[in-house]
């Protein structure tokens, strides 16, 4: 098939960027002719880059300009399928990778905060309007990366379920493998050789539930490694109030999550809203148990490879889950199950599901 993938930045790192990168290469490996419409792209010989030359300043203007450019550079009639990973108006498949922006605002800022932002923030007004128009366009299919997202879109926008497809993200099963990395050296480097190590990974600490993680840590042994892009200073004070300041390691942004997972005993992510947190699938592939909230779409694929807490605010429940994982035998068994679950979600399998969706659209 002749496929156009639309994304503002086409790079191997990031959240949605990483998913688009892996999907594009897996589609090309399956024999499809893949073109990528992007304003920035890392070089790759397997794909054709169609550059969208739009201004990078002021997000509302940039988003609208990129949407117009994508419609011009990848018209739907020129390709078998146009699949957008960014917030654009005209495509065959729109990937709602962040879920509903309206649901995100409500989860992050509450009903009143979400309402104020929808009225007075140009950025949020643009994103919400694009979302509304895409979901109202019955010619477009919507790709969801979890059932949680699918069900939320049906509730909020009354979308015909026939337009919605659920395809979970994939993972590099070779990079994230229980036997590939030795985490002992990293534990020695950070001085946590013997204590249980709980790993928290996520940028935007408030939405990812770091406050809940710190309160949970107060009731369990071990240390918490905090990784992600955010200012740690306000959170250091929070850790001190919880009485765990000496048991938290602030590691900042890292590009070696596979090594961190090899060194950790479990992943802890009490997120308040995540359409699908990729790090959970990466932890599963690495053979590590995952403790997360039901507000994370990735919780749907955990099975017995982790613990899911219904209330993202309930620190005692997260603490109880961590206490159960202080037993090495429990951790090993959960990790084994987690790896077995993750093996269903290779990027090759992800591309096969995409190609099946594209074929239905062509028909």
Answer yes or no: are the C-beta atoms of 22 and 92 closer than 8 Å.
no
For residue 179, tell me if it sits in a domain. Answer: no
- pLDDT at position 246 is 96
- Cβ–Cβ under 8 Å, residues 215 and 224: no
CA dist 48 and 128 (Å) reads 31
User: Are 350 and 336 within one domain?
Assistant: no
> What CATH code is carried by the domain that includes residue 113?
3.40.50.2000
| β strands within the chain, DSSP E | 2-6, 9-10, 33-38, 40-41, 48-51, 81-84, 93-95, 141-144, 164-166, 197-201, 223-227, 248-252, 266-269, 290-293, 306-309
244 and 137 within one domain: no
Task: Choose among 49, 44, 45: nearest CA to 6.
Answer: 49
Q: 197: closest CA among 227, 224, 226?
A: 224
Which of these, 147, 179, 145, lies nearest to 161 by C-alpha position? 147
Domain that holds residue 65: 2-170+346-362
Strand-pair category, 164-166 with 40-41: unpaired
- Is the same domain home to 101 and 191? no
Return the closest-CA partner of residue 338 out of 296, 292, 280: 280
CA distance 350 to 26: 8
- Domain count along the chain: 2
**Partners of 51 in beta bridges:** 38
In a domain, 175, yes or no: no
In this structure, the answer to whether residues 24 and 130 fall within a common structural domain is yes
Please check whether residues 188 and 334 belong to one and the same domain. yes
Sheet holding 164-166, edge to edge: 48-51, 33-38, 2-6, 81-84, 93-95, 141-144, 164-166
Could you tell me the CA-to-CA distances from 99 to 76, 151, 318 in Å, in that order? 24, 10, 24
CA 36 remoteness from chain centre: 21
Let me know if residue 269 belongs to a domain. yes
Does residue 47 fall inside a structural domain?
A: yes
Same domain, 152 and 200: no
| Residue in 295, 301, 330 with CA at minimum distance from that of residue 314 | 295
**In 145-228, at which residue ranges do the beta strands (DSSP E only) sit?**
164-166, 197-201, 223-227
Residue 152 inside a domain? The answer is yes
Length of the chain: 363
Tell me, yes or no, whether 204 and 324 share the same domain.
yes
Q: How many CB atoms lie within 10 A of CB 252?
A: 10
Do 141 and 254 have their domain in common? no
Q: Report the C-alpha gap between 335 and 333 in whole angstroms.
A: 5
Helix H or strand E segment including 13? none
- Cα dist. 179→166, 194, 287, 288, 303 in Å? 31, 20, 9, 12, 22
* pLDDT block averages, 10 residues each, the chain of length 363: 96 91 97 96 91 90 96 94 97 93 85 89 93 96 97 94 96 95 89 92 95 97 96 95 96 94 97 96 98 97 96 97 96 97 98 97 89
Please answer whether residues 99 and 273 qualify as being in contact, where contact means their C-beta atoms are separated by less than 8 angstroms: yes
Task: Tell whether 337 and 351 lie within a shared domain.
Answer: no
* Interior/surface letters 84-100, b for 16+ CB within 10 angstroms, e for the rest: bbbbbbbbbbbbbbbbb
CB atoms within 10 A of CB 234: 10
Q: Is residue 124 part of a domain?
A: yes
Residues 350, 338 share a domain: no
Q: Are residues 195 and 147 part of one domain? A: no
Residues 218 and 111 in one domain: no
Classify residue 220: in a domain, yes or no: yes
């Amino acid at each position: 098939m002749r496929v156009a993938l639309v994304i503002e930045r086409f790079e191997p790192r990031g959240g949605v960027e990483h998913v688009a990168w892996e999907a594009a290469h897996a589609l090309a490996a399956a024999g499809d002719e893949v073109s990528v419409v992007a304003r920035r792209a890392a070089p790759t010989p397997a794909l054709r880059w169609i550059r969208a030359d739009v201004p990078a300043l002021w997000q509302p203007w940039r988003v609208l300009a990129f949407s117009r450019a994508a419609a011009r550079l990848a018209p739907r009639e020129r390709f078998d399928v146009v699949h957008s990973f960014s917030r654009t108006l005209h495509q065959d498949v729109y990937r709602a990778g962040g879920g509903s922006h309206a649901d995100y605002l409500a989860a992050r800022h509450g009903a009143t905060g979400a309402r104020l932002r929808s009225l007075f923030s140009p950025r949020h007004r643009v994103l919400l309007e694009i979302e509304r128009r895409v979901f109202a366009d019955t010619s477009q299919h919507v790709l969801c990366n979890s059932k949680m997202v699918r069900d939320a879109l049906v509730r909020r926008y009354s979308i015909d379920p026939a337009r919605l497809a659920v395809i979970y993200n994939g993972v590099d099963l070779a990079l994230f493998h229980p036997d590939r990395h030795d985490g002992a050296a990293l534990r020695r480097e950070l001085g946590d050789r013997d204590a249980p190590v709980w790993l928290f990974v996520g940028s935007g600490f408030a939405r990812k539930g770091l406050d809940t993680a710190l309160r949970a840590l107060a009731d369990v042994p071990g240390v918490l490694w905090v990784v992600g892009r955010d200012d740690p200073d306000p959170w250091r004070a929070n850790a001190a109030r919880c009485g765990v300041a000496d048991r938290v390691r602030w590691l900042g942004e890292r590009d070696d999550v596979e090594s961190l997972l090899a060194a950790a005993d479990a992943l802890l992510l009490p997120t308040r809203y995540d359409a699908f947190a990729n790090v959970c699938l990466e932890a599963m592939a690495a053979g590590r148990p995952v403790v997360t909230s039901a507000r994370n779409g990735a919780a749907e694929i955990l099975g017995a490879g982790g613990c899911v807490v219904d209330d993202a605010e309930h620190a005692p429940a997260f603490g109880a889950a961590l206490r159960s994982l202080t037993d090495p035998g429990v951790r090993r068994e959960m990790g084994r199950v987690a790896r077995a679950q993750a093996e269903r979600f290779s990027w090759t399998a992800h591309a096969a599901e995409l190609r099946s969706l594209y074929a239905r659209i062509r028909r």
